[in-house]
Structure 1
Amino acid sequence: MKKAGEKLSFTSLAVALASDYLSVYVINTVDDSYVEYNTDGTDKELIPVSEGDNFYEDTVKNVAIQVWPEDQEIFLRVFKKETVLEALKDGGSFTHTYRLNINGEPRYFFLKTIRAGEEYILVAVRDIDEEKRRELKATEEAVTYAQISGALASRYEALYFINVETNNFIRYSSSQDYSNLGVTVEGEDFFEEASNDIKQFIHPDDVDYLLKHIQKDYLIEELNDLGTVILAYRQLWDGEYQYMNMIVIRPKNDDKHIVMGVVNNNAQYIREEMLKKESRTFSDISMALAENYEVIFRINTKDYTYEAFSSDDKYETFQKSLGLDGSDFFRETKKIFEMVVLKDDLEMMKTALKKENFLSSIQKFGKLFFTYRMVMGGKSYYTSLFAVQSKEDPDYIVMAIANIDEAKRMELAYIKAMDIANHDALTSVKNKRAYVQTEVEMDEKIEKKEQSPFAVVVCDLNGLKHVNDVQGHQAGDEYIKGSCSIICNVFSHSPVFRIGGDEFAVILKDRDYENRYELVEQIGVEQESKRVNGMKPIAIGLSEFIPETDIRVQDVFERADSLMYEDKKKCKNEINNVG
């Protein structure tokens, strides 16, 4: 074992100092003796500053003095010799974040342990206080967005978040009444458990209808065709059956999940029924007017003549101003929509309301529903169009148009808030929370032998501490964003995650997986002109999923992480050799 006073070259411990660690302990695994080193001088030469006969016994003593009181128990529990050595098997590493008591104030530090040959391990300690506090601040902002999401969701009695690949689901309930029903809170198969709940809580006359529409394949087909699915039914509530609405949507840019909201619509339904009894017009039109539709069309499917109904005379005046007489629904409404529909949605509307498409959809599905935007007074409004074949007279179709702008914008705000909660505030790429969710989903596929080929890329930024110290943290943030931009541009078909202050992970599939080696080389080319103190800004490691041996994504990540540190060591050695 080396004794205090001897110098150990920077190169031999470069792997431990790869992220600008403050202290390094070299521990003999045979007798637990150790030497502590600090960096000294412009060449970052390592100077021994202390030594001891038993590293782990001395650590227990030092923890009581140096570690922040709230972190002492967990530090001693996780940083045991057997725990560390187990983690280092097969080229792994051990890491831990904790706080030291610096002048009576807590300060965050990061500890990383790796092997250095058969008889030694290296324990390196780095000050991460500033970056950790920025991370905590970003987390607080994400929590705020989650709270906003919860507020937007309060209009629903319950929200279901369903994975349509695994059928796993979670139910979030804002209503105590709904929770008291005893409906399953979470589970492994939504569609099976929903079927059981329907048979127990839904009105007998509505059971078959709801069972049909809640079948996964049928529901997904309706979502693909309509964008949003709305189901009306009666559910046992407070000892009596009440009218409910179920609204189903897909989250933005997420084909793996659907969100299902349940609304108690009983009071509104009762009001509508009262209006129906008083009305002398067709029941379909009465219902539509009760829903505050802007205008209702009743279309004759034999000769395509139509009537228009509205709660005031605005539409009738508009219709007369255009010289429309109700003689041809498809020709006349085309003229209307060309004047009032937002340009971006006009082609969709023309296609949907083309005679053969419109009638075919009604015949196939019994109804038609979609959302578009109208322009009124220079401002765009979200509008819904709902068409259904009249129950009272099959020769007629009733089509209603409603202003849903406020509700739609609330829905979009909720989806946006959910999306923000999974993204890093500085770089706008996905964050560690999103990475963990992705890892869990992929682990489930690995366990079921259903996971397609993939690779993990781990990237770590070189010289970030130097940039922060010399140019300031604003420049450091720009350095992080610039390096992230290189990673995103190269791996343009794969999700990029910021999983630490200066660490990124990329999961390569499909096209990027097939071209993985060329893309890694491209990373090197892209950063040549962006060297800091002669060093490339990004160290990178790549590892592929091995189905025969890997049981989780973490196995692939750890190999990529080790290769990244080898690349980081190579980068620093190149600088030393040049010097």
Structure 2
Amino acid sequence: MDLFKFSDDIQSAYEQLPHALAIYQLIDNRIFARVLSDGYCETFGFDSREQAYKALEKDVFYNIHPQDVSLIETEAYRSLENRDTYDIIYRSRTAGMKIDAEFKVMHAIGKHVDLENGVHLIYIWYTEAGDQVTKKIMDLQESVTSLLSNMPAMTFSKDLTTRKYIACNQAFADYAHKETPEGVVGLTDFEIFDETTAQHFVEDDKKALLMNKPYIFYEDVPDAAGNPRRFQTTKLKFMDATGKTCLLGLCQDVTDAMVIKEEYNKKLENAQNRANIDALTGIRNKTAYVEFEAKLNKTINDKGWAQFAITIFDVNNLKTINDTLGHQAGDEYICEACKIICTKFKHSPVFRIGGDEFIAISQGADYENIDELLNYFAECNMEATKTGGIVIACGMARYNNEGNVSAVFKAADEKMYENKEYLKKLE
């Protein structure tokens, strides 16, 4: 679409107005200055209209504070979409082409006008805000900027209509791999992050929009460079002074903290495992048995019944081996006996609760085949008493509504000692 041009008479009439008026044309989301009045040139410190047109042709936002550009764009698209009045207060230089000129606060009110052939114009009137208003706004902005800058968490706000970032602090700019917050403002998530990450943020925004309270959650997402990060994020919707729905976000990077926590939990788990493992055989020890017994008692109390069997093993002749062959031979004897027990009771937790004493608690498959397993030990023991092999006395008892595990343990222990005495007579 070509740039619109008023007739010479109308163009001249507009340009000679003493009021600060500018008429812009919107083409493919780009803004072009079509009319700049004498009052506009005076208000913004231009020496001539030619100078003003040239400056805005190069950059229509050239004299606006960088932090306010996205606000202006957001308000422009909001008012365009809703066919509503354009109304915004922002900071602008008022000294023409002098880049180092002081910023002052301006009030801009505009209206959208559609002409034939799809021409869309925006009429905007400008006035300078008073000194008191300027001071209040600047003081407020400095306070907010200071607050954002000193917050350890990443902070940002978005326009939920355009999905563009309105503001952010340096911590969020660093996460987005931008040098300054100004590098983030005016961009969408899709212009900063990869598509998957950006879509993830958009979906979270939608969830926050549906809630009437802060939306707090943990998330694992990469930064703009693709590095994995973990955040505790809070998102909260709010309405700004113009009635726009916006989003405030606070993201605390907890990546390092979670790594430390995971390492601590892993070390704690390893320490707990070591505390429950028998150093000689590598199976569970008496401490682990006590914990297992407590869990089993809880099951009995909660459900009123449980199906399990306890088998107690005692390795015969350990003292004789220690006295004649030494403790290293005795340790090897215990380990070999442990291997035999664990191989047969492969579906049961096995515990070493004393020097030569082991316990197996059988449920499931081992429970169903418990008699067959005991017959195996009986046959092996008969052969070992003749050949000098490892003799492992054992006794088993099933739970039969005794009300606790210790009663079953006692019954199994008595049977084990009976078996032990019987085997000694055979040796």
TM-score, normalised to structure 1, is 0.36
Instruction: Specify which structure has the bigger relative contact order, considering alpha-carbon pairs within 8 angstroms and separated by 6 or more residues.
Output: 1
TM-score, normalised to structure 2, is 0.47
Q: Which has the larger radius of gyration?
A: 2
